[in-house]
């Protein structure tokens, strides 16, 4: 980046302020890098470390090892409890409770940012707007008798709440489609969208896929028993605040939204309350587990614009294409395959898999599932459902 900036600056073909604005830096920063290049050459463009050369008050490594060892042996211990244990061992110098808290938080951020088998696997999934998560709460009845449902969209990487709404429960999906369309035109498109609904495609999910956004379905959590809830509540009560918030996020717990359902509350006032909560959340004022930066400082709008016209998918020449009937069914080798009524009038592609009589069904670039033709005899009237891949 800086070499390209220096090249444009040395050409002097446009104002220096315009070059700095193109690279998103101030004139002061631009002159700093230009002077470094002129005095030290290409070596001056290397980013210098801001870490101090010496740290006289740094906690000794042996003390850090004891802190981490105590936490590994006693996961429920707080920072103050670990300080008491260190004092009982005669550790000197004894670190403050806040120092122990920072050591545990630093280790948690580096070792538990993405738990094994759950984290992203490529560089794209570490960027904002790779996946948005649609969260919703149970419908609530307002004093005027209207039933509304609270819905908000959160970026999976930065936890930035992109938007939040109070939608009428009677027509939740239609209202959600209108709000998502407005959101996509304002913020751009994500690459994936996680929906909390059951794994059934609807006109909403088909419309989202036609925009080039992959649709994921959240797994239905198993219902915990009363004894499991009681034990979990006891363990959570002994955790520090930042660890408790981290565990709640990993468990998929929905953050409480302060909705007041007193007299005179309407859907408009609920939307205003949600917008205030969204602002406080994005500026890091509702959670205690933001170590350094708030969600709004980490998030940036998507660079994928929402298309004005929705074009049907085009498939490669020679691809095996099937037209979906009004009942959501297509025929493959004298068998009926059920895709869903939401795809009526759409075309899908069928690809053969290495397994015998096994085929992959795709809607454009999106994989809908696979079908095993051996599960039914030819000319049967019972349709075959798609199996998840």
Query: What DSSP state is assigned to residue 63?
Result: H
Query: Does 275 score more than 50 pLDDT?
Result: yes
Q: Given this structure, which CATH class describes domain 61-111?
A: mainly alpha
Say what the pLDDT of residue 49 is: 66
Q: What is the pLDDT of residues 215-263, one digit of tens each?
A: 998 876 555 566 767 777 777 667 666 565 555 554 544 444 555 555 5
Widest Cα–Cα separation across the chain: 82
What phi and psi values does residue 45 have, to the nearest 5 degrees? -85, -5
Position 10 pLDDT exceeds 70: yes
Span 12-55, pLDDT tens digits: 778 888 888 877 788 898 898 888 888 888 777 776 666 677 77
Residue predicted with more confidence, 146 or 153: 153
Model pLDDT, residue 221: 55
User: How much is the pTM?
Assistant: 0.60
Residue 10: count of CB within 10 angstroms of its CB: 11
- pLDDT value at 162 more than 70: yes
**How far, in Å, CA of 289 to CA of 199, rounded?**
32
User: Taking residues 360-388, what's their average pLDDT?
Assistant: 88
Q: What is the distance between the alpha carbons of residues 74 and 221, in angstroms, rounded to a whole number?
A: 28
Tokens of 82: 């670990």
pLDDT over 90 for what percent of the chain?
24
What is the CATH architecture of 124-298? 2-Layer Sandwich (3.30)
| Residue 248, pLDDT score | 57
- CA distances in angstroms from 309 to 178, 207, 212, 284, 305, listed in the order given: 15, 12, 13, 37, 12
CA dihedral 67, 72, 76, 77 (to 10 degrees): -20
More confident site: 134 or 296: 134
Query: Tens digits of per-residue pLDDT, 341-361?
Result: 999 999 999 999 988 889 999
pLDDT, tens digit (0-9, with 9 covering 90-100), for 59-93: 888 888 898 888 888 777 888 889 889 999 998 88
How wide is the angle at C-alpha 39 spanned by C-alphas 38 and 43, nearest 5°?
Answer: 90
Whether pLDDT at 330 is above 80: yes
């Amino acid at each position: 980046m800086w070499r390209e900036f220096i090249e444009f600056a040395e050409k002097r073909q446009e104002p220096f302020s315009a070059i700095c604005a193109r690279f998103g830096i101030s004139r002061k920063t631009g002159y700093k890098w230009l002077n470094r290049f002129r005095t030290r050459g290409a070596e001056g463009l290397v980013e210098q470390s801001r870490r101090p050369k010496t740290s006289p008050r740094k906690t000794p490594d042996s003390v850090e090892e004891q802190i981490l060892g105590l936490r590994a042996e006693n996961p429920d211990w707080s920072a103050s409890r670990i300080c008491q244990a260190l004092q009982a061992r005669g550790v000197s110098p004894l670190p403050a409770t806040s120092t122990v808290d920072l050591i545990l938080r630093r280790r948690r951020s580096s070792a538990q940012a993405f738990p094994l088998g759950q984290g992203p696997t490529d560089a794209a999934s570490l960027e904002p707007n790779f996946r948005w998560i649609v969260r919703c709460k149970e419908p609530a009845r307002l004093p005027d008798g209207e039933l509304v449902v609270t819905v908000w969209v959160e970026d999976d990487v930065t936890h930035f709440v992109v938007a939040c709404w109070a939608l009428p429960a009677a027509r939740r999906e239609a209202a959600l489609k209108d709000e998502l369309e407005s959101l996509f035109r304002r913020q751009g498109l994500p690459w994936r969208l996680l929906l909390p609904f059951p794994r059934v495609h609807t006109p909403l999910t088909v419309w989202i896929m036609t925009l080039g956004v992959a649709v994921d379905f959240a797994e239905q959590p198993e219902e915990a028993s009363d004894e499991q809830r009681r034990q979990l509540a006891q363990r959570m009560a002994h955790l520090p605040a930042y660890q408790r918030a981290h565990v709640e996020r990993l468990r998929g717990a929905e953050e409480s939204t302060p909705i007041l359902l007193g007299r005179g509350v309407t859907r408009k006032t609920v939307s205003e309350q949600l917008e205030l909560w969204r602002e406080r959340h994005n500026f890091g004022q509702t959670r205690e587990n933001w170590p350094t930066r708030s969600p709004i400082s980490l998030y940036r709008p998507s660079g994928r614009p929402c298309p004005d016209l929705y074009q049907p998918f085009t498939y490669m020449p020679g691809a095996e294409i099937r037209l979906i009937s009004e009942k959501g069914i297509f025929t493959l080798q004298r068998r009926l395959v059920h895709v869903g009524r939401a795809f009526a009038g759409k075309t899908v592609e069928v690809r053969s898999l290495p397994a015998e009589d096994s085929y992959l069904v795709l809607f454009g670039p999106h994989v809908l599932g696979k079908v095993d033709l051996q599960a039914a005899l030819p000319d049967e009237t019972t349709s075959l459902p798609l199996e998840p891949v």
